[in-house]
Amino acid sequence: MENQFFVDSKHLSLEALAKKHLIETDPSSRKNHMEYLPGMEKIESDVCKNVMEQMNSFDYSKYTAKDVKAALDHEKCTIDDFKALLSPAAEPFLEQMAQRARLETSKHFGNTVYLFTPLYIANYCENYCVYCGFNCYNHINRMKLSPEQIEKEMKVIADSGMEEILILTGESRAHSDIDYIGEACKLARKYFRMVGLEIYPVNTDEYKYLHECGADYVTVFQETYDTDKYEQLHLLGHKRVWPYRFDAQERALMGGMRGVAFSALLGLSDFRKDALASGLHVYYLQRKYPHAEMSLSCPRLRPIINNDKINPLDVHEKQLCQIICAYRIFLPFVGITVSSRESAEFRNGIVKIAATKVSAGVSTGIGDHESKYNGKETDEVQGDEQFEIDDNRSLDKMYKDISDEGLQPILNDYLYV
């Protein structure tokens, strides 16, 4: 595809990018973002209805200090308590929230912190999401690893000591079909004890096949639960269909996956409402699938190739800490992941309070682990990264830093029998 838009728009803000394209593109050419496309499985579930009713009625301006104090005093955090803890009224109580969150984390997770690393095996994408470096209109180096290259990357990662891997692709069935991803899962099972997937949403039978190939869990970012903002930011491709993406985790569980992970990309829309919806998405699915492991990620926007102006809207570290503490208090048994999008200082602090999982030895590029892990120069073509990371610590460095904080780094605690 020609990239006239991004060439002209290199340094526009996220809002300006969306507005510019909406003005220049005929709206009638874009599919209705709430209508399923052919081949998309539609399941019967009331989870979406429950989440959206709560989110749409969430008026966080009505909560007061009294509501926040009551929420912190309650032994069990209700949905209304969760809303109070996400409100601006809770910001002066961040220290008390952190103390309560630390208590809940210690009670259910001890002093452990789990470590994993992502492996991007392809960066081809058929979607146009204005905030993502992989989007189909962005001029970047595209690459898809061969099975031999995938195994080489996995061996480099495994040799570092890592035991859990998260396999990622761009959202392109044409370049990264289910068979290709399944083969990557089979290879990963040779080297790792825990295999996660972060790919385009698929149907139940496809999740079942990927589980049979060795995948343990599935992560899907809803990006934003604000359907109007979602429509403005996702302009082309299958990802534009909001409800199909929303039900992805439930389809994964129906397909036999052991666990699922959820997230909004904080900063795309009203972060308080997106945080509420993310937490409730977990909350309602927990009640339908009590056997499943569930976790929340807490990413903020990061700059991308060809646009260094993309950054989160009003979500500063203080607000991020508030969200993570509220998650822990409301969902005490749920894992919470904080990625390398955040600084080393922030991650060192938040694992002592509420986060239970962090990435290490991270690369969001394609085919570059040998050069990054072992410092070896290579003539092989490499694919560009999805976004800029902030914390680039190696596994050894992350392991040491966590230990120095008095915590116990865990590479894996699963046994297959």
- Residues 161-209 have pLDDT tens digits of 999 999 999 999 999 999 999 999 999 999 999 999 999 999 999 999 9
Give mean pLDDT, residues 388-395: 81
Q: What gap in Å lies between CA 30 and CA 32, rounded to an integer?
A: 7
Q: What gap in Å lies between CA 336 and CA 217, rounded to an integer?
A: 14
User: What's the CA angle centered on 15, arms 231 and 313, to 5 degrees?
Assistant: 100
Give mean pLDDT, residues 325-344: 95
Predicted confidence (pLDDT) at residue 2 exceeds the cutoff of 50: no
Write the CATH number for 360.
3.20.20.70
Which pTM was predicted?
A: 0.90
Give mean pLDDT, residues 338-353: 93
Give mean pLDDT, residues 28-49: 90
Report CA-CA distances (Å) from 334 to 153, 178, 184, 252, 331.
30, 29, 27, 17, 6
Predicted confidence (pLDDT) at residue 18 exceeds the cutoff of 80: no
Give mean pLDDT, residues 275-303: 94
392 falls within a domain: yes
DSSP 88: G
What's the token pair of residue 398? 């992350």
- pLDDT reported for residue 310: 58
Predicted confidence (pLDDT) at residue 86 exceeds the cutoff of 60: yes
Confidence of residue 380 (pLDDT cuts 50, 70, 90): low
Alpha-carbon torsion (219, 324, 161, 393), positive or negative: positive
Q: Are 329 and 354 in contact (CB under 8 A)?
A: no
For a pLDDT cut of 70, what percent of the chain falls above it?
84
How many Cβ atoms sit within 10 Å of the Cβ of residue 376?
Answer: 9
Rounded to 10 degrees, the C-alpha dihedral 349/352/358/360 comes to: 60
For a pLDDT cut of 90, what percent of the chain falls above it?
73
Strands 164-168 and 112-120: parallel
Q: Are 140 and 363 in contact (CB under 8 A)?
A: no
- pLDDT reported for residue 366: 84
At 400-412, the pLDDT tens digits run 999 999 999 999 8
- pLDDT reported for residue 122: 94
Q: Are 151 and 184 in contact (CB under 8 A)?
A: no
Predicted confidence (pLDDT) at residue 88 exceeds the cutoff of 70: yes
- pLDDT reported for residue 141: 85
Q: Are 105 and 152 in contact (CB under 8 A)?
A: no
- Indicate the range of 60-69, 89-98, 272-281, 377-386 predicted with least confidence: 377-386
Domain containing 175 equals: 4-410
- pLDDT reported for residue 26: 54
417 falls within a domain: no
- pLDDT reported for residue 11: 47
268 falls within a domain: yes
Confidence of residue 8 (pLDDT cuts 50, 70, 90): very low
Instruction: List the beta bridge partners of residue 49.
Output: none
11 falls within a domain: yes
416 falls within a domain: no
Mean per-residue pLDDT over the chain, rounded: 88
Give mean pLDDT, residues 204-225: 98
Q: What gap in Å lies between CA 404 and CA 111, rounded to an integer?
A: 12
335 falls within a domain: yes
Could you tell me which residue, 51 or 303, shows the higher pLDDT? Answer: 51
415 falls within a domain: no
Q: How many domains does the chain have?
A: 1
- pLDDT reported for residue 341: 84
- pLDDT reported for residue 19: 56
116 falls within a domain: yes
Confidence of residue 137 (pLDDT cuts 50, 70, 90): confident
Confidence of residue 385 (pLDDT cuts 50, 70, 90): low
Stretch (H or E) spanning 116 = strand 112-120
